[in-house]
Amino acid sequence: MRVIRDPLVALLCILGVFLAGVAPAAAGPYEDALAGFASDSFTDTGTAIDAVAASGHALAATVLGALQERRLHFSAASKKVYYTGNAETLHDAATGQAVAGERPADLAEVRLNNRLRRSVQAALGGLTLMSADPGARLNAAQAVFKSRDETLLPTLEQAIAKETDAAVRIALEQAWAAAALNREYAAAADMIAAIKVLRARGDQDVLAILGAVPADAVQPVRKAADDAIAAIKGELALWETAQNAWYGVSLGSVLLLAAIGLAITFGVMGVINMAHGEMVMLGAYTTFAVQEAIRTYNPALFAYSLAIALPLAFAVAGAVGIAIERGVIRFLYGRPLETLLATWGLSLILQQAVRSLFGPTNREVGSPAWMSGAFEIGHLTVTYNRLWIVVFALAVFALLLALLRYTRLGLEMRAVTQNRPMAAAMGIRTNRIDALTFGLGSGVAGIAGVALSQIDNVGPNLGQGYIIDSFMVVVFGGVGNLWGTLLGAFSLGIANKFLEPYAGAVLGKIAILVLIILFIQKRPRGLFALKGRAVES
């Protein structure tokens, strides 16, 4: 037996033996909490969620986020918990390290129910209330507002005291108010203060929270809640009216785009063009073709796809319109029934041609980034694509007015509209004006198709959904009068949106049609009748 003579070495050996005999250190609160996820019990999982959040561990948010996204798993045999990360890599939840080798054979997903999902959402919100990122704090406050977890009230109060961002502070105060009203034994003063904060927010979520205030609450609290509910309902009714008005303006801009080309051809030529909707369809398919070419050859240009499609859609639809006028319609002037039947047949031919070229199914037309998303004004939601279509419709209207008033073509078009025989006697080539007018109206319908491709399905039947409404707009506003078309489009759009909540979409359209028929009985020339010797005779 070898004797260790060096005292220092002997001391180290004795210490090593002592440490080897000591039991392993007890696991921390985070590691103990993880064990609850491995029991496959909703009760234990709920306890584990709260304990992991309270532990303050660096991996707490990662584990709870994995649980929320159904990426948290456990092994019943080893009682270990894992989560999957990028590329489905398995990580040990206790250490965050990737697991080498094969996965445990009995790996199972940690189950959640609705109550636990709310608990996870609230726990994640509490973990990020003190984040350095204002966006993270805002999202956390909104999550706590939805969960109304009263256990986070102390954390919320600390966060409010430290908050410097105004928007985040408001969200934190609203979260505090929602949680305070959910507390079982809240003081009346706190409840009234919470009601006042929620009253300022004034949306449907607040109505649900205030509606949950106990009916047997003390009188001041009950009165504050009832007054807030009444005031919020009144304000929401006004905002709903404003929202319906905006929807009506949005629909009116669509009707204006679809009808303005028809107003030109119908007003100048008196032709009932049932193929006008197919000009809109051609514009939409031109947009699809342009985007497909850009995706194939230069994806970087996608943001400019609509700007590229506009002149091409005008050219394609305008050329088809001129071909229709020169090939068919010029032989049918003065015979409205034959014109209607011929253009209806042409619409069927164009639909079948598009089916043969592009297929019968709808085609996807993408929206550039600048047309995506929405913003809010109070409780009014405005989507960017609808807003841009309203702006585009008004711009097209202004350009057409300028063309009719300040160009030679516009002067000749107005002359032919008001008195065709006199215009011909003055040397205006009325046949040429007819062709150019039909081409202009069809071209405008084509660029309307570019806009409609952003809000409607692009398919062979796209134009059929707008042809009847376009005729109603033109007849109601006054045949051939652009200002009448503008007023008629927005009037019918707004009226439609206010009738739909009460009568439904189909009955609403029928009611609008009946009202227009009654109006035409009293005023056959519409809101703004054209003036001229030929018209008045």
Q: What is the pLDDT of residues 361-392, one digit of tens each?
A: 888 888 888 888 888 888 888 889 889 999 99
What is the pLDDT at residue 480?
65
What is the pLDDT at residue 267?
65
485 burial via Cβ count (<10 Å: 0-12, 13-18, 19+): buried
| Nearest partner of 489 among 273, 257, 270, judged by Cα | 257
What is the pLDDT at residue 423?
84
pLDDT tens sequence across 258-270: 888 888 877 667 7
**What whole-number distance in Å separates Cα of residue 131 and Cα of residue 17?**
46
Q: Are 181 and 215 in contact (CB under 8 A)?
A: no
Buried b (16+ CB within 10 A) or exposed e, 38-53: bbeeeeebbbbbbbbb
The type of residue at 22 is V
Helix axes 134-147, 153-162, angle to 10 degrees: 150
Q: Which two tokens stand for residue 242?
A: 């404003």
**What whole-number distance in Å separates Cα of residue 282 and Cα of residue 284?**
5
**What whole-number distance in Å separates Cα of residue 40 and Cα of residue 48?**
11
What is the pLDDT at residue 290?
94
239 burial via Cβ count (<10 Å: 0-12, 13-18, 19+): middle
**What whole-number distance in Å separates Cα of residue 348 and Cα of residue 328?**
15
What is the pLDDT at residue 293?
93
Indicate yes or no: pTM above 0.75: no
Q: Are 81 and 95 in contact (CB under 8 A)?
A: no
**What whole-number distance in Å separates Cα of residue 293 and Cα of residue 284?**
14
pLDDT tens, position by position, for the chain (537 residues)? 444 455 544 444 444 444 444 444 445 788 888 888 988 889 899 898 888 887 778 788 888 888 988 899 999 888 899 998 876 789 998 888 888 888 888 889 999 998 888 888 777 777 777 777 888 888 888 888 888 888 788 888 888 988 889 999 999 999 999 988 888 777 888 899 999 999 999 888 899 889 888 887 888 888 998 999 999 999 999 998 998 899 889 888 988 988 888 888 776 677 788 888 899 999 999 999 999 999 999 988 888 999 999 999 999 999 999 999 898 888 887 787 888 889 999 999 999 999 999 988 888 888 888 888 888 888 888 889 889 999 999 999 999 889 988 999 888 887 887 777 888 888 888 888 888 988 998 999 999 899 888 888 889 988 888 888 888 888 888 766 788 888 888 988 888 888 887 777 778 778 887 887 787 777 777 777 655 444 444
How many CA atoms does the CB half-sphere of 60 hold within 13 Å?
A: 24
Other CB atoms within a 10 A radius of the CB of residue 496 amount to: 22
DSSP 420-465: HHHHHHTT--HHHHHHHHHHHHHHHHHHHHHHHTTTS-BSTTTTHH
**What whole-number distance in Å separates Cα of residue 12 and Cα of residue 434?**
108
Q: Which two tokens stand for residue 60?
A: 């707490």
Task: Give the largest CA-CA distance in the chain.
Answer: 135
Reduced to 3 states (helix: H, G, I; strand: E, B; else coil), residue 144 is helix
Q: Which two tokens stand for residue 185?
A: 């034994």
What is the pLDDT at residue 20?
44
Q: Which two tokens stand for residue 460?
A: 């062979």
